[in-house]
Structure formats: C-alpha cells, structure tokens
Amino acid sequence: MKVTINVKLVNSKFDQAYADKDNEGEETEDNIKYLWEDEFEVQGDVKSYKVTNNGTYLLRGLYPSDDEFCFEINDMTIFEFELANASKVLIPFSKKAISKTDKLETKQGLKFNIYLKSIKEIVNPMEGVYILKDDYPSELLELYSEEEE
C-alpha cells in the first residue's frame, strides 16, 4: 500500500474570523494559515502501521568526524510502518508539537495529515523527523545550526 505523509506547521497567528469576514474563509498574504508544509511518501510497499504515543525515539547518525551518535528523545509520537520486505520506517514527532492528526483512505492508499503547533521552534534534521528544539540534543543543535547557514 502507498502511504503519504503531509506535515503542516499551523500559524498560531492565523485569524479564521478575519478570513471568514474579509476573504470568504480563505487565507491572505497577511493572514497565512500554514507557515510551511512537507509532503512525502513512505518509500516501499507498506503492509501495516502503528502509532505510538509517549514513545522514545532513538536519533542516530554520524558526526562530521564520521563517529556515530545515538540520543534518546522522549515524549514522541512515532508512526511506524512495516514494509513488505520486513523493514520498518519510523516517522517521529515531538508529542507536544502536534496540534492534531487525521488519516484519509484514498484509492491511491493512505494519507496521514499531521498539523504542528508553531508556538515553539521545531528542528527537522532530516526528512520525516520533527523534534521540538527544547528536546533536541544541544551538541547536535550546534551542528544543525551550522548546516542551516
């Protein structure tokens, strides 16, 4: 099955009443509903999935020196997809960052919509990983900031 993930950062300053009154409910240039949006497909044939709330995600990677790192990030909501080849794909979100989620079944497969709050900064170190800056390892945050420049 094909699975699409759509992530939107909701603008906390969006005023729906203003949009309804002055623009037929739609956003305008000075009243934007979403600050950014990511959409991507889970790569592979998804056989099953589960969602874990209050889980721990292991953030793994390599430092610029090629040394490995592994950090436990707590209070995560983790979408886990099992593929036909028995491998797993994890899409983690800081639980406190999620405003709401919904799932749509379409002819093409499943689509998950995840709406994130814009109250606190979110770090997105790679596709499909969304961690509150407050929960992100500080030593990695320095490296992440350097990559952004």
Total-model pTM = 0.86
Cα 141 to Cα 37, 59, 101, distances in angstroms: 22, 13, 27
Contacts 24+ apart (CB under 8 A), 47-52: 47/1, 47/82, 47/83, 47/84, 48/81, 48/82, 49/3, 49/79, 49/80, 49/81, 49/82, 49/110, 50/80, 51/77, 51/78, 51/79, 51/80, 52/76, 52/77, 52/78, 52/80
- How high is the pLDDT of residue 149? 43
Mean pLDDT by 10 residues, the chain (149 residues): 96 75 76 90 96 96 92 98 97 97 94 94 93 93 62
CA-nearest of 46, 50, 70 to 60 is: 70
Tell me the pLDDT tens digit for each residue of 54-72: 999 999 999 889 999 999 9
- How high is the pLDDT of residue 40? 96
What 3-state class would DSSP assign to 134? helix
Count Cα neighbours of 63 within 13 Å in the Cβ-side half-sphere: 10
